[in-house]
Structure 1
Amino acid sequence: MDKHEEFRKSVRQIRRLFVLLFTVFGLISGGVLYLMMDPDLSIFKKTSSDPTFVVIPEEDEDRIENGIHVRTGLKDAEGLMVVVYNCTNCHSAKLVTQNRMNKERWAATIDWMQETQNLWDLGSNEEVIINYLVTNYPPREKGRRERLINIAWYDLEQ
């Protein structure tokens, strides 16, 4: 590399440094000017004089309404929070409730998740989770429709 190329490279590096410094200086001075104009940061506080500024109230994520855990839609019963903390970390509660299984199937499903999906060891929580699910979301006797019987089948002509 000759001296001209080295000089151009140095100029490019200095130019990048000035752009970076100018950007940082601009951001800092803009923040300082903003704080000078609004030192108590009132823009972030709800005031009755500003009807366009809406504060969304903090919601208790573990609130129960009408026997239902609001965030997940799960039934409020013994073991609910163990299920919420262990099952809804990885997937929706809807996935849990739509897979209505008996005790043995839930145990096998948990084993499968531990072997293939990196589910942690649940320890004594496994029994609590299975009991909650079997009690509150037991297998259904019927599927979506009755089994078709006494049907007169026919061949379609093409």
Structure 2
Amino acid sequence: MNKNFDRSIKSLSVLLGVFIALIAILFGGLLYLKQNPEALRNQANEGLVEISEENNDLITDGIHVATGFVDDEHLQVVIQNCTSCHSAKLVTQNRMSKEGWKATIKWMQETQNLWDLGQNEAKIVSYLAKNYAPKNQGRRAHIEVAEWYELK
């Protein structure tokens, strides 16, 4: 009986130790995210952290942390109208001209039940065409080599 009691105490001690370690890791992670907004934005974009009221309007390095959108005029209009139906990532991964964004909005209205945006449409298109316009580059920027050397 004494052996079984000792095993039970050891098992409980191990479980308690694991529980305390998990709490410490969770607390440390939350403290890190609170002090490092860039990490919070990356975690939020990956769907690993939920954006709360406390950090919903946080702007870091010109980027709205909760959505990943560029901080610019009409940002809130874009957030209110675009992210109520889909992720901001769906917007930020695309690059279109003013005409392309208008055509996309029209397509969403015709096929996806997007409501009439009224006077907000011009604001949204202006924001998107400015901040998510096409870029004249390939899949990645050219690699700049400062100094070539010969392999021997």
Decide: shared fold, TM above 0.5. Answer: yes
Specify the alignment match of 2:90 in structure 1. Answer: 95
The 3-state SS of whatever aligns with 2:67 is: coil
Give the structure 1 partner of residue 80 of structure 2.
85
Runs of 4+ in 1 over 2 A off after TM superposition: none
Deviation at 1:145, TM superposition (A): 5.8
Larger radius of gyration: 1
| Letter in structure 1 aligned against 2:119 | S
For residues 143-158 of structure 1, what are the structure 2 equivalents within 5 Å? 143-144=138-139
Tell me by how many angstroms 1:68 deviates.
1.1
CA deviation after TM superposition for structure 1 residue 80, in Å: 0.5
Query: d(CA) in 2 for partners of 1:58 and 1:119?
Result: 26
Alpha-carbon separation, structure 1, partners of 2:100 and 2:75? 19
Contact 2:68–2:92 (CA under 8 A) maintained in structure 1: no
Of residues 120, 123, 131, the one that matches 2:126 is 131
TM-score w.r.t. length of structure 1: 0.54
Describe the superposition over 1:71-94 as per-residue Cα deviations: whole angstroms up to 9, x where unpaired: 001111001111111001111111
Provide the C-alpha distance between the structure 2 equivalents of 1:89 and 1:137, rounded to a whole number of angstroms. 19
**Contact 2:67–2:88 (CA under 8 A) maintained in structure 1:** yes
Query: What residue is the counterpart of 1:110 in the other structure?
Result: 105
- Root mean square deviation of aligned Cα: 2.5
Unaligned ranges ≥5, structure 1: 1-50, 147-158
Taking structure 2 as the reference length, the TM-score comes to 0.56
In percent, how many aligned pairs have the same letter? 63
Q: Deviations over 1:61-117 (max 9, x none)?
A: 122122111100111100111111100111111110111000111111100000100
1:66/1:112 CA distance change after superposition, 3 Å:
same
The answer for unaligned runs of 5 or more in structure 2 is 1-22, 31-51, 142-152
Map 1:67-86 onto structure 2 (within 5 A): 67-86=62-81
